[in-house]
Amino acid sequence: MSRCRVCQHALLEFFDFERQPLSSAFVAPDGTDDEFFFRLAVGMCESCALVQLIESVPPELAHHEGYPYHSAGSSVMTKHFEETARRFIETELTGPDPFVVEIGANDGVLLHTCGEAGIRHLAVEPSGAGTVRVHRAFFDAASAAAILATDGPADVVYSANTICSVPDLRPVFEGLDVLLASDGVFVFEDPYLGEILERTAFDQIYDEHVFFFTVRAVQALAERFGFVLADVERLPVHGGQIRYTVARAGRRTPTPAVAELLAEERELGLTDMATLEAFGRKIQGIRTELVALLHRLRAEGHTIAAYGATAKSSTIANYCGIGPDLVPYVCDTTPAKHGRLTPGSHIPVRPAAVFADPYPDYALLFAWNHAEEIMAKERAFREAGGRWILYVPHVHVV
Binding mask 69-108 for ligand DWN (x = CB under 6 A): x---xx----------------------------------
User: Residue 257, class by beta-carbon neighbours within 10 Å (0-12 exposed, 13-18 middle, 19+ buried)?
Assistant: middle
102 binds, among ligand DWN, Zn ion, none (CB under 5 to 8 A by kind): none
Chosen from Zn ion, ligand DWN, none, partner binding at 312 (C-beta under 5 to 8 Å by type): ligand DWN
Shortest Cβ 212–ligand DWN spacing (Å): 12
Helix extents (H) in 34-108:
75-91
Half-sphere exposure of 231 (CA within 13 A, CB side): 13
Q: By CB under 6 A, tell whether 17 contacts ligand DWN.
A: no
Q: At what angle do helices 170-179 and 141-151 cross, to 10 degrees?
A: 20
- Angle (CA) 160 20 163, round 5°: 15
Rule CB under 6 A: say whether 271 interacts with ligand DWN: no
Closest Cα partner for 324 from 301, 293, 353, 298? 298
Integer angstrom CA distances of residue 6 from 1, 9, 223: 15, 8, 12
> Mask: binding to Zn ion, 49-78, rule CB under 5 A, as x and -?
-x----------------------------
Q: CA 149 to CA 170: how far, in whole Å?
A: 21
**Which DSSP symbol is given to 91?**
H
**Cβ 190 to Zn ion shortest distance, Å:** 17
Q: Where does this chain touch ligand DWN (CB under 6 A) — which range of 7-15, 66-74, 144-152, 266-274?
A: 66-74
x/- mask, ligand DWN, residues 144-183, rule CB under 6 A, reads -----------------x----------------------
7 contact, one of Zn ion, ligand DWN, none, CB 5-8 Å limit per kind: Zn ion
Measured distance between the N- and C-terminal CA atoms of the chain, rounded to whole angstroms: 44
Print the binding letters for residues 377-396 with ligand DWN: x by CB under 6 A, - otherwise: x-------------------
Give the span between the Cα atoms of 161 and 150, in whole angstroms: 27
Work out which of 282, 373, 382, 393 binds ligand DWN, going by CB under 6 A. 373
